[in-house]
Structures are given as C-alpha cells and as structure tokens.
Structure 1
C-alpha cells in the first residue's frame, strides 16, 4: 500500500490547507459564537434602553402633574383667596378692587410653569363677578363630566381628569381640587381647576424615541393618551383590553403610586423583531466578514504561490541555458526573500563564470589600455606643472623689474601674488596649521589693501594656542575674500575686516567680521538654504565648498553660522574640534 506523503503536494496546495485548518475554520467558529453572544447582549441592551425610555416618559409626565399639584397646594392653603371668594360684596366696584388686589398675583403662577396653561376658580358666591378666571357653579357646571367625575374624591386630594380643550375634543388634562381647607360660616363652595398645556402629553410622549406604541392608562385601564394613530383616544373612552397587540409583543410598564395618579401607568408595546433589528445587521456583517476571510485570503494565497512558482521556473529556465554556455542574467530582480537571494546568487555565479572566461581572452587588451591611460595621466600632470612654473617665472621677472625701477610697493604686491599662486598650486595636503592659513590670508589682504588703499583695513587676532591647530586647507580664506569683494568693495566709506581665531577648551573658534554692505534678507535665506542642496552647487561656490569639506572632515562635530544684515555687515562663525599639530 502506497503511503501518501505531504511533501508530494505542491507549495500552493500546502499553503491552502494550512490556511483552511489554521485560519478559516477557527475564524468561522469564532464568528458563530460571537453572533450568539452579540444577539443576547444586544437584546438585553435594547430592553434596558427601552425601559429607560419608558421611565423617562413616565417621569416627565409625573413632573408636569407635580407642577400643577404644587400650584394647587399653594392656592389651596391661601387664606386671602378664601376671603376673596367667601366675602359678600355690597357692590361690583368693591369686588373689582378686591379682585385686582389679589387675583392678579395668582394668575401669574401659571407663567412660572411651562406645563400649566391656565388657572380657573369656580364658586357659588352670587356677589362676585364671574369673569377673569372666576366662573359660577351653576347647573351647567354641575352636569359637566369633570364635575361629576371628581365629585367624590376632589375634597380629599386633587383629581386628574381629561377635559375639553380648545380643539373641542377631550385632549387636555385638568387638575380639579375642592377648596375646603378653611371652614367658613357662609359655606360657599369653591373649586380650583388647573388646566395643563393642550400639547403637553403629545410633547412628552414624542420627545423620547421609542420603537413602538405608547399608552397612558388610568386606574380603570382606559386609554387617556396613546401614540397609536389607529386609536382616536380624544373622542371617547377606549379600553386598553380592546387594543389588538402583535403576537411577538414585548411590553414595558411604569406604574404610579400617588393619590392623584393612583394605579395610572404608562404602557409601551414593541415587537420582538425590533429588538433584533440591529442584530440582523450584525449577522449580515459576520456573514460578509466570513466570506471576505475565505475569498480574499484564498486569492492572495493563489497570487503568492503563483509568484513563487513563476520565479522558480524562471531560475530553472536560465540554469538550462547555462548548460549551453549562455550566461544570460535574470533581469529586474529586486526581491529580498529566499527566491530573490537565490536569483541574485545565480546572477553572481553567471557573471563570475562569464568574467573568468572573458579574462582569459581580454586580459592583454585591458593591460595595454591601462598602460595607455597611465601614460596619458602622467602627460597631463606634467603639463599642469609646466603652466604654473611659466606663470611664476613671469611674475618673478615683473617683480625684479619693479625693484630695479624702485617700485617697491608694486614689487611687494607681485611677490604676494606669486606666494598665493605657489601655495595654491603646490599645496597637496588636506590639512594645514592656522599659521599657514593666516599666511595666505595676509598675502591676499595685502593685495586688497594695495587696491583700495585706506578704504579697506584689517585686523587679525590669533590666540598663540590656536596657531598650531590643524584645520582643512583653505577653509577660511574664501570668507575673507567674500568680505573684501562682496562686503567692503561696494560701499563708499571705509571698511574693516576683523579676523579672530581662539581656542575655547577643546574647540577652535574662528570669526570673520566685516562692516560691508551685507545681504538682503531674501539673499541670506537663499544662501543658508543652498547649504543643504548638495547636488546643485550653483552660486556661492566658495561658501558651499568650505561647508561640504568641513562636513566631510568633521561630520556633525562642527558649527557653521552666518549672520548678515543689509547695511550693517556680515559675520561668519566656525567652531571646529581642536587638533594640535605635532611634528
């Protein structure tokens, strides 16, 4: 019997099996468990949220009723109001004076509470004027619905009833209370009616979002208000038992245990599928996620395995060409993985074999070519030496003729020029001492002083300890040259160049100051910005050349700063590590 080996599978199938066993199946099982846990959590959270919404509605309605009850309690214990309604008035004028002295303050109480619409008083005192919030208890009032409904209990505590509003329907709530706190001889009947805002209940029950129907039931389970648009609660008494509820109903209740709201309750009805509405979205999301986990990784694995397969086949194809002595390299190889390393190794092997073969045939030709190049370099070096020597000889001839003619100053300048040229041509070392650099600077400044006479002055201050310090060759003279040509020469008055080189601990501090014309702000910014543009030399070659050589020698262990102000002058400050010259 042949035993099946895993090693006989190709790489693509191996990766696919690993993906299904270690990724897809565990993720699918995890998603199923996550869905069930999420379903229970979301349903519980929804139930809590809806319960809180119903509690908020119930509390808001109770708060509105409590405001009316508070006003009724204040009026109920007001002795002055009792006197107003009990007193027998001899004339209408007498009552009007008493009314304005007191009742105007009571009518203001309604404006203090947004839930209260109006306050109304009823009395059977024939001597008062029935107007301005005071009405007569006549036969019509005694036969009214609100009077009969509250007759038995309004003397004990306030009664909340639904009365006729401005729309002509029973859509306004009123609080009725018998005013019998003080016992009087006349025994005049007095009733207080506090009307709540007509749209109060509608606003309370719609301010809080609830995905279902809301019902306000009285102690007889009659609907006093509902958000169910199919029930016309304001026209007639509609029992809650006759409401057709869905089969998958979920009911929330909040009951009141107050004398004026005894056994009233807020009932909220929703459906089970509403609770699980968000879960459907989660289920779809989990399904889509499972599909993504299957499709996209599978396509990605196919792409990766195809890439591996194609690159391996490409290496094999080129290796077969090597058998026919065709050392063609594999082009466009930038991969960093193992196959990429294998490809690089093949290219190196093919190149090396090809190079070894070529070296046998072209070694002599290359040797002759190198010899020719060497002779050409020697010829160029010889020519570069001839031209400077010729120039030195000419300058020396001019200097001697100036001495013969007793033109000592001219002879001195020519000598300085010759010294500068000789130093610049024969200095083959990268490092010089500060003394050597200053020697070249003095030659240059003497020439400039000869040109401008008293217009240009200079002062050099060298710390003896700094004189033997090693610095890069010609690292200071370009700034002296800029100070003279670009700083002092354009101005009309006298100019001054001050060179200061001092040792500070293990640092060499070099400063070059001039009182020339300075640079414009824009030009200064361009100069400082150009120091970072290594690839583009452009203008300010001397400054950039020094900066790049300092960076080459010292890396980041030096400081370089230029301060220039138009009309004031320029200061160049360079701080270098102190390297003392030793013989």
Structure 2
C-alpha cells in the first residue's frame, strides 16, 4: 500500500506531457515493439529455414549429378568387362605386332568400343600386363600406370572400383591435364587364361565437370572437394574457400555434407548469404510497412492527438494563470470544445473579469510608486556617468601632452581634432544610452589618439555586425574596456600590440568582445576581477579606487536587469579578452524613424 501511495505521489508531480510519454512508452510503444519483434523473429526464423532447405536441395542436386556421372562410368566399365571379344583380345598372346594390329582394328570396330565414351570429354584406357600388346590409344601396358597417383592409391585398397580427384603435380604424360577426375575398375567378370591384371580407367576432363556443375540451378554458392582438392569452383571463384571451411563449424549459413562414392569421400559445401533483419525487411517491404503502420504509427498518432487535445488547452490555461504577475489578467480569447477543460477555461475568463475590475482600483497608486523608483535609478545612473566623463578627458589630454614632448607640435592639430570629436559626441549625447554605431565612432576616435601616443606599438581592428549597430548600450561603457586594454595591456608591453573590438550574434546571444595582445593578467587576478564585475553594486563602485571597469559593468547590468554576464580570458604575457554576453531577447534596440513615426 505504501509503495502504491509513493507511486501515486510520483505521478502527481509529473507534467501531463511526461505522463503521456510514460503511457506511450509502457502502454503502447513497448508492447507493440515486443509484438513486432516476435513477429519479425518468426519471419526471420522462417527465412533461415528456407535457406537451410535451399542448401540441402543444392547439396542433393550436386550429389545426384556426381552419382549419375560415376554410375554412367560404372555401366561403361561393366559393359567392357562383360564383352567377350574385348576380353579375348586382351587375353591373347600375340607373336608379331602385325597380328596385334589386325586384331586391334577388328575388335574396336566390331565391339562398338569407340562409342562407349565421348572422346572429346572423356579418356577411356584399359591397362593390362600383356607384354605382347602394343601401348596406344585405348590399350596400355600396366607398367605405364605404376607412377600414377590413382594407381598407387588403388592398389593399396581391396576395392574393385574407385574414383579419384586430385591435382597432378608430376604427370606421367606432360600433355595430360593436371586436374584429374578418374574412375578406376578391375576387370574381374571374365577369367583370364593368361592370369593377367586388367584395369579399366575412365578419365573426365575437369572442365566438363565444372561446366555441368555450374549449370545446376541453386540459390546458394557451392563448393565441391575431394580431400584437400577443390573440384568446384576453380580459379578466383575458389579464393574464399578457406574462409568457408573456417566458418563451416559455427556459421548458420553454411551446410556441409560428406558423400561417400566408390571408395572415396566427396565434401559438398552450400553457402547462403548472411541473413539480417534488414534483408528480411527489404524482401517483405510491403508487409513490413503495413505492420508498422497499423500496429505502431496509427496508435501513436491517435494517442498523440488525444494528448494534444488535452495538453494544449491545459498549457493555454497555465500560461494565462502565469501572466498574473502583470496588473491585468488576460482572458482566453479562443476556447474550443465542450468538455471539462473547456468549462474550466470559461470559469477562468469569469474570474479574470472580476480580477481586472479590482486591479483598476489600485493601479494608479502602484504606477506612482514605480515612477518614484525610476527617478531614483536615473539619478544613480547620472551620478555614475558624471564620474566617467572627466576620466576620459584627462587620459586624452595626457596622450596629447606625451606626444608633444616626444614628437614636437607638427601633428598637434590633428590630435586636437580627434579630441574635439570626442568632446563633441560627449556633449551631443543627451541620454545615458547610445547605439553601438555611435559608441564605435567614439572608440575609433579614442584609439586614433592612442596611436599618436604609442606609435607603431599599437594597432587596432573594429568588427561590428551590421545587425548589431542599432543595439543600445550605456554610453562610454565599451570605450571604458578599450581604455583599460590600452593603459593596462599595451602600455605595459614593449613590443607591438593589437586591440580588437567585436560585436556579433552567436547561439541566441549578443557577444561584445574587447581583446588586447598586451601583458595579460595572472589567474588569481582574473578570477578576482571577474567576480567583481559580475557582482558589482553601486556601493562597491563608490568604495572602489578605480571606478572605470566596475562603473561600466554596473551600468550595463542595470540597463539589462542583470541579464548581462561578464567573462575574462587572459594569459600572462599573451593578452586579455573581456567578453560580455547578453541574451538576444533581452537586447534593446534604437527605434528607426519609421517606427517613431
């Protein structure tokens, strides 16, 4: 019971959209995903079963074809073994070669011996140890087979027939194909009067075997081996065979079957492509789309519509109540529906009407109080501003004095002109705030004067986005940071220095940067100054010995209601950058003539 109460309290603290999200996940999406996963798993298993059937059928096809070739060879060998004329011909002891030749021609022509095999694809040879026979064409002395691999393997077995496939590294006849596929059988049906050893061999060209296997239709990749010898495929097609052998022990996409034929074992590999859920989806794309549409997308869309019909109106009602910080509550202008939420919104409008009538009775008193507070703040701002104007004037006059001492009076007129520009702008500004464009002119005039003082030791660059030039800031604030960069940055460094002034937009903020390549500050001093800038108050400015930077920070914070944030980046001996960040939605811009009209 206690756990139930805790769970209920937990859900009571969640917003409606999060509650609906939990309902989506655990009440809709998760069950549907599990259901679809089970369904796709069944389809996947069915595809795996189909692949196994494809591989089994392909192996059976290869096995049957190989069996048919060897059975045909066995039938030919049986026909030869039972042919009396051939047995008589082989079993005769010939006195002279001429007699053997006449008997050979007669036997071959009358026994249809030449028609038993395809001379273009097969090679039929009968070996015997009849020394009176001449070796040639169909008949050879058995001594010629002694060094053949098939003979060496055949005589070691007790089998009457066998088949061998191998690569002949050292063929007896150099013109013979090195890829050998040969059927071997002893002639034992007719007894030899001379007690001769007789062996029938039928050798097939490997190209024939390859072409016939290639024509067998399969839905998978096939490999046929005899021991270590790969019969099919050959060349580049067999390069990945070793990988197949390695994977065959664990891969669900490879089927291996050993087929015993005629005292030898052939191994057939059937390989199908790796099966993934993505491939299954592609093969059943229409069914997949329908399943996802009706079991996932449509239910989610319906629940989303239900959520929006509730949360949107609750959000409107919540925002309406949230605007109560102003003097007047705003009524909800458009109310849709006729359910409980709509009734609640109508009741809210009735309360707003009553509340606004009460607010009118106290509004004028509150307005007078606000005007009094505003006047007090303006007085404080004017007091702060009055501290800055002489500050800049004295620094400018000091620059002229130093220049006159060092260079004479040749350029004094131009320096006085710069000073006049600064003073003219100071006199013409009747408000505490100015645009960035106006402040830019003052900064440029000030830096031009400083360039007379420092000469080649100072260079500057001002880069202000056009869209930022009508932004209002307290006057003489940016130039305060520029002055600080000149006096405490460039002046304390003997080598040439730069001052950069930038104003730009970045990620919803307006960024003000004043950077110098002067002497920089220690880390502890940076931290201390940064804290003072971000927590400055009027009392702190009044107590400070040097009011310039803190004065500028305070005026900016007062203008933008503490929305401005100050950051300092500095490294001793490298330079210093002051960064002011103000959210763009808090920025105040100067009104154009069209807006004023």
TM-score bin, normalised by smaller chain: 0.3 to 0.5
- The two structures have a TM-score, normalised by structure 2, of 0.39
- The two structures have a TM-score, normalised by structure 1, of 0.39
